[in-house]
Homo-oligomer: A and B are copies of this chain.
Amino acid sequence: MSINTIVEVRELLQPFFSKMQLRDALGPEEQEALAQAAGDRLLFTAGEDLVREGDRPVRSMLVVSGFCCRYRLLPEGQRQITALHMAGDFVDLHSFLLKEMDHAVGAMTNCTIITFPHPNLVKVSEQFPHLTRLLWLMTLLDGSMNREWLVGMGRLSAQQRTGHLLCETYTRLRAIGMADDHGFPFPITQTSLADALGISTVHVNRVIQELRQSGLIVWENGVVRILDWPRLMELSSFDDRYLHLVQEPR
């Protein structure tokens, strides 16, 4: 690999490094090791699947740009989205150890992906214990978010869940420098949103109308702007503790 491409890889990994550095220091050798472990770049178009249920991937995929979601299809054709992913997120780091995909990952927008062949990840896990713990941590964060969604699904109203997802997405995007007070990109259809929130498309629409009319948000052309952050947090019982945005030794 030429010096030129190595430099380029590091640039692509920047959101990922940011995400890790929000939780712990990342040494230069560790950054180097990750850059070395990276493989091909891939492009996916909106609607395409990155991986399917039942696949046995030989490499894991990190999002460089675009939005993806993990989802499962049920026998009766219903879909449930279990996670949203954006720049800096590994979408299937689990497949490194789980081996078989128990869910699919789809591109919600055009996406750029950088891959990490599993043999390279094994090497990292043999040579860089601390870095391994940080990768492990990244999958634990996915778990935290899953638990939080679960709490919402079980005990919050459709409106609260919607607000909560907006709060979470805003917070996560801000952490990688993709959101400010003027809003953030949220290129998701109301149908997909319904699949993520576990409600019907019709109901999603009504809930969003309400949030708009309450003066809490503006949402147009795939860009969301939160007008009243404190009130939206309060409404949605949002508390960012579960995102573990604290830099400390891990």
Using a CB–CB distance below 8 Å, which chain A residues touch chain B?
54, 70, 72, 74-75, 78-80, 82-83, 94, 97-100, 102-103, 125-126, 129, 132-133, 136-137, 139-144, 146-151, 153-156, 195, 197-198, 237, 241-242, 244, 246, 248, 250
Contacting pair A99 B250 (CB below 8 A): yes
Can you name 8 A-B residue pairings with CB atoms under 8 Å? A72-B147, A72-B151, A74-B151, A74-B155, A80-B150, A99-B244, A146-B147, A153-B154
Contact A82–B246 (Cβ < 8 Å): no
Give the chain B neighbours of A80 by CB distance below 8 A.
150-151, 154-155
Query: How many copies of this protein are present in the complex?
Result: 2
Specify which chain B residues have a CB less than 8 angstroms from the CB of A242 in the assembled complex: 102
Q: Which of B136, B139, B198, B246 contacts A155 (CB 8 A)?
A: B198
A97-B146 in contact (CB<8A): no
Whether B143 pairs with A139 at a CB distance below 8 angstroms is: yes
Select one of B98, B142, B146, B155 contacting A78, CB under 8 A. Answer: B155
Query: Which B residues are CB-close (under 8 A) to A244?
Result: 98-100, 102
B151–A150 contact, CB under 8 A? Answer: no
Are A100 and B241 neighbours in the complex by a CB distance under 8 Å? yes
A121's nearest neighbour on chain B, judged by CB, is: B133
Which partner residue on chain B sits nearest A140 by CB separation?
A: B94
Closest 10 CB pairs of A and B: A154-B198, A153-B153, A146-B146, A102-B242, A80-B151, A80-B154, A143-B143, A82-B147, A97-B137, A78-B155
Q: Shortest distance in angstroms between A156's beta carbon and chain B's nearest beta carbon?
A: 8
- A36 to chain B minimum Cβ distance, whole angstroms, is 17
Contact A237 B74 (CB under 8 A): yes
Contacts known (A146-B147, A153-B154); A126 close to B129, Cβ less than 8 A: yes
Least CB distance from A141 to B in Å reads 8
